[in-house]
Amino acid sequence: MQPAAEWGMVESMVRALYVLTGIATTIPVVWALGWSVWGAGVSITECLSLLGSLLLVVLGIAGPSRRRVAGRVALLSTTGIWSFYLPGIVGVVRSNVTNQELSLAVLRWTPTAAPLVIENWQQTPGAPDMTLSAVDIQQIKNTGISGIVSLYAANGKYGKGKHSRAILIMREPVRKAIQFNEPNATSVIYIYDGAGWRQVPPNAPTLNRTIRIEPQWDDPQQTSVMVELSTGASQGFGVWWPKSTLKDRIR
């Protein structure tokens, strides 16, 4: 085979690669842009990536005959494509590296001068374990609070990986939104006395992800607890306060 014929075959393969790469990288971006119909935002990197993919397709079908010009166009197109895909790849890697299983418990607290009483969950046979562990109970005692603490919810698990534990002890519904960094492979207690919060232990290692506590949007007398996952999404539940607690708060 003559050198010219060999180069012609290589050039055909390169052009085919341009077309296939352009099409393959266009599909996910078009899918992402499709969510804008439902109100999702459109980022500049999505537009740059789509433009780069289309340029590759055009380059593969009817690109310039000059190799240097074609190479520069291909480099420019690839840069635009990676502006969208590289942050996504980094985000997936970071999510897998920093992921953890956070176990969350919420306790309602009625302060009194009497010694601390912890009302644990009465476990139902066959139901998920909702009781506080012996370690949890000892950590609650170590906070130094007194009165009655009753379990509202326990062992809600979020994420996968190394184990962390967060216990929220709340005297009443929160008046405004607040958020804490999630414990990093350790156990932390957050206590709300109606005036402010304190963390036990105060210097526990944390992640750059949050537990957000705020009044319910449709009923400010109730509380919403949301946990930020490693993917950036949030999961959580509502804490519903009995009328007696709400009346005491109003007085």
Query: What's the confidence (pLDDT) of residue 124?
Result: 60
69-105 pLDDT, tens per residue?
777 888 888 898 898 888 888 877 877 777 888 888 8
Question: What is the C-alpha separation between 30 and 48, in angstroms, rounded?
Answer: 12
Q: 7-11, 52-56, 246-250: which range is least confident on average?
A: 246-250
Query: What's the confidence (pLDDT) of residue 189?
Result: 93
* Lookup: tokens for 97: 């590296």
Looking at the structure, tell me whether residues 182 and 59 fall in a common domain. Answer: no
pLDDT greater at residue 179 or residue 121: 179
Longest dimension (CA), the chain: 97
The 8-class DSSP code of residue 230 comes to T
Q: Domain range for residue 140?
A: 100-250
Looking at the structure, tell me whether residues 135 and 195 fall in a common domain. Answer: yes
Looking at the structure, tell me whether residues 115 and 83 fall in a common domain. Answer: no
Looking at the structure, tell me whether residues 112 and 224 fall in a common domain. Answer: yes
97-142 pLDDT, tens per residue?
778 888 888 899 999 989 999 887 766 666 556 678 888 889 999 9
Cα Rg of the chain (Å, integer): 28
How many other C-beta atoms lie within 10 A of the C-beta of residue 83? 17
| Of the residues 97, 127, 152, the one at which a domain ends | 97
Question: What is the C-alpha separation between 211 and 51, in angstroms, rounded?
Answer: 39
b/e for 9-20, b at 16 or more Cβ within 10 A?
eeeeebbeebbe
pLDDT band at 251 (very low <50, low <70, confident <90, very high): very low
Q: Which of 79, 85, 72, 76 is nearest to 46 (CA)?
A: 85
Looking at the structure, tell me whether residues 77 and 115 fall in a common domain. Answer: no
Looking at the structure, tell me whether residues 152 and 225 fall in a common domain. Answer: yes
pLDDT at 164 over 80: yes
SS3 content of the chain, % helix, strand, coil (to 5): 40, 30, 30
pLDDT band at 3 (very low <50, low <70, confident <90, very high): low
Query: What's the confidence (pLDDT) of residue 4?
Result: 59
Looking at the structure, tell me whether residues 72 and 36 fall in a common domain. Answer: yes
β-bridge mates for residue 190, sequence order: 168, 199
How many structural domains is the chain composed of? 2
